[in-house]
Structure 1
Amino acid sequence: MNALDLSRLRPRLPSPLEPVADERFARHGLTLLLKRDDLIHPDLPGNKWRKLALNLREAAGRPVLTFGGAYSNHLRATAAAGRLLGFPTVGVVRGDELAGRPLNPSLARCAADGMRLEFVDRATYRAKNDPATVAALLERAPAGAYVVPEGGSNALAVRGCVELGRELAGRADVAAVACGTGGTLAGLAAGFEGRTLGVPVLKGGFLGGEVRALQEAAFGGPRGDWSLDERFHGGGYARVPPVLTEFAQNFEARHGLAIERLYVAKMLYGLMILADEGAFAPGTRIAAVVTGAPEGTA
């Protein structure tokens, strides 16, 4: 199977843009729109499709080695792509203490899709961009393996996300997206004509530099009008405080849509707070990018 032939997977593109009648936004004169990237493909939903597509074409059927934590949606999507397109995958997982434990549902899904999981200690994982570390990992990988970075974020991924911004051009004034490694935001902002807001789901204040570096690698310099609001990470990655759980459950009850907690809920909660703070002028159309679905629903 030639990995270049992604069209046979029949991605749903452009993804739907759905208005949501929510009085928490309407009372401020705002229109909330959901950009349903979670519906692009059942196994490679959301930003994972957009970030992987050009990388998979570049890999051209070679084995793919990539990185992620124990609950990484990126690892799951890469493993699924390998199964569907017929190429080997290796997932380098943060935390060697996990090696002797039963696999959690995310990693079990990766393994079921044929991904070889390699658990490394945290010091090694932190050095995942070091050429010597990558070379050592490649020695244990299938010959000719193509390396995709953590979260899939590199110049090719950024270029793949430009189309997301173009799909929203003229249909929204503000585009908002939850951010892990910054690749989706970097591409979205480059393709969008309005204001782009990133909501980091990790603490640390490092993401702005990462987005700038990704745009430099992809385009040779900055693109688009983008900013970050660092307040809504909920304590850090994979942290879901009670206030966020309550918000997500309420949103689900109002709109009948299951909300992924680690990314999407944080972004939507942040938008609600910003609306209450008067961050958006009346009449603003806000497109919230739904980058993924809860575990077990995609």
Structure 2
Amino acid sequence: MYTTSIKNQNIYLKNKGITLEIKREDLIHPFISGNKHRKLKYNLIEAKKNNSKMLLTFGGAFSNHIAAVAFAGKEYGFKTIGVIRGEELEFKKNLNSTLQFAADCGMLFKFVSREDYRNKTDSNFIDELKREFEDFYLIPEGGTNNLAAKGCEEILQPQDEEFDYICCAVGTGGTISGLINASRKHQTILGFPALKDDFLQKDIRKFVIKENWKLLTDYHFGGYGKIKPELITFINRFKKTYDIPLDPIYTGKMMFGIFDLMEKGFFQKNSKILAIHTGGLQGIHGMNEKLSRKKMPLIEL
């Protein structure tokens, strides 16, 4: 997989002299975009080196990671298995847009209960999968491991040294770990978790030794996959103003948080902020399905 340097896009200039630019990692690839491209790069190289023919990974029904691995398998000659959270999904007549895309790419699914899914890192559970599917290259949920963090280090380029703050959404912690490792002493890395659980600090510390980072936990909007009308309004207004789409699970919450912190005076005068657009736009379709059922406003595509 190739590495692409995305030119930063200046989107906001405040009177205090604070500048905000966004790195359009979502433009790297139409289907393996943003942090998924970065996380998979060295994992796919390692899988090839090990002569693996199959990739196995984990995710929810609307997972960006599942979609990206499925397409990567098709693109680079791997069979793919997706272990999907929610055994009830197996009996639905129609797959949702994410799973249908993955299936069209050739991914096979194993649907498991939410209880069993919690054991996804347990050696006994992995051994059972090996007995069922024989040999495979294991990619963790969200793609996060040492190789993923290595790939995400490449997000930051020499020209990004001018920024005081680097901001990113946080799911499993791989992307922010790479950013922390690649950051300079004068830079602060701010993570905006999409989940309200408090395990991320520990997970991130598996991959980093620097202390120039902080998680801002007030912008998850109720937890993973949760959304409120004010977030929908912000995402739609942002796209109309800057012509940049945001997804409702990750980047929408991050950008909402950054703008809110600007208004609250969190950033020092003349600060330079770089926000990482990690992709995930395929998730908009799934969210709009949910919003439509709830008769809520939709996210504009």
Please report the TM-score for the alignment, with normalisation by the length of structure 2: 0.89
> Which of these residues, 103, 120, 140, is aligned with residue 132 of structure 2?
140
- CA deviation after TM superposition for structure 1 residue 153, in Å: 0.3
- CA deviation after TM superposition for structure 1 residue 189, in Å: 0.9
SS of equivalent residue, structure 1 residue 51: helix
Pair 1:202-2:195 in alignment: yes
Give the structure 2 partner of residue 3 of structure 1: none
In structure 2, how many angstroms separate the alpha carbons of the residues matched to 1:128 and 1:293?
A: 23
**Matched letter for residue 209 of structure 1:** K
Q: Is the 8 A contact 2:149 2:175 kept in 1?
A: yes
> Which of these residues, 118, 128, 143, is aligned with residue 120 of structure 2?
128
More divergent stretch after superposition (223-232 vs 163-172): 163-172
In structure 2, how many angstroms separate the alpha carbons of the residues matched to 1:32 and 1:254?
A: 14
> Which of these residues, 275, 279, 282, is aligned with residue 292 of structure 1?
279
> Which of these residues, 154, 159, 178, is aligned with residue 163 of structure 1?
154
- CA deviation after TM superposition for structure 1 residue 166, in Å: 3.8
Q: Is the 8 A contact 1:51 1:161 kept in 2?
A: yes
Deviation per CA, 1:155-214: give whole Å up to 9, x if none.
Answer: 110111111134563232111000000000011111011110000001112211110123
Q: Is the 8 A contact 1:168 1:192 kept in 2?
A: no
Q: 1:119 to 1:191 in 2, by over 3 A?
A: same
Pair 1:236-2:223 in alignment: yes
- CA deviation after TM superposition for structure 1 residue 15, in Å: 1.6
Give the structure 2 partner of residue 219 of structure 1: none
Root-mean-square deviation (CA, aligned residues, Å) is 1.7
In structure 2, how many angstroms separate the alpha carbons of the residues matched to 1:275 and 1:28?
A: 10
- CA deviation after TM superposition for structure 1 residue 109, in Å: 0.5
In structure 2, how many angstroms separate the alpha carbons of the residues matched to 1:52 and 1:83?
A: 13
> Which of these residues, 79, 98, 103, is aligned with residue 111 of structure 1?
103
Q: Is the 8 A contact 2:194 2:250 kept in 1?
A: yes
Q: 1:153 to 1:242 in 2, by over 3 A?
A: same
In structure 1, how many angstroms separate the alpha carbons of the residues matched to 2:173 and 2:145?
A: 9
In structure 2, how many angstroms separate the alpha carbons of the residues matched to 1:97 and 1:225?
A: 43
Q: 1:134 to 1:168 in 2, by over 3 A?
A: farther
Deviation per CA, 1:102-122: give whole Å up to 9, x if none.
Answer: 211001100000001110011
Deviation per CA, 1:115-160: give whole Å up to 9, x if none.
Answer: 011100111100000000011012222x320101000001110111
Give the structure 1 partner of residue 179 of structure 2: 188
In structure 2, how many angstroms separate the alpha carbons of the residues matched to 1:116 and 1:167?
A: 41
SS of equivalent residue, structure 1 residue 231: coil
- CA deviation after TM superposition for structure 1 residue 27, in Å: 3.0
Question: What are the equivalent positions in structure 2 for 1:34-45 lying under 5 Å apart?
Answer: 34-45=22-33
Moved over 4 A (4+): none
For structure 2, list consecutive stretches of 5 or more residues without a partner in the other structure.
Answer: 286-300
For structure 1, list consecutive stretches of 5 or more residues without a partner in the other structure.
Answer: 1-5, 216-221
Give the structure 2 partner of residue 213 of structure 1: 206
Give the structure 1 partner of residue 38 of structure 2: 50
**Matched letter for residue 248 of structure 2:** R
**Matched letter for residue 275 of structure 1:** M
SS of equivalent residue, structure 2 residue 218: helix
Q: Is the 8 A contact 1:54 1:156 kept in 2?
A: yes
Q: 1:119 to 1:234 in 2, by over 3 A?
A: same
Give the structure 2 partner of residue 68 of structure 1: 59
SS of equivalent residue, structure 1 residue 214: coil
Q: 1:240 to 1:167 in 2, by over 3 A?
A: farther
Q: Is the 8 A contact 1:178 1:266 kept in 2?
A: yes
Please report the TM-score for the alignment, with normalisation by the length of structure 1: 0.90
> Which of these residues, 227, 243, 247, is aligned with residue 214 of structure 2?
227
Pair 1:263-2:245 in alignment: no
Give the structure 1 partner of residue 263 of structure 2: 276
Q: Is the 8 A contact 1:191 1:224 kept in 2?
A: no
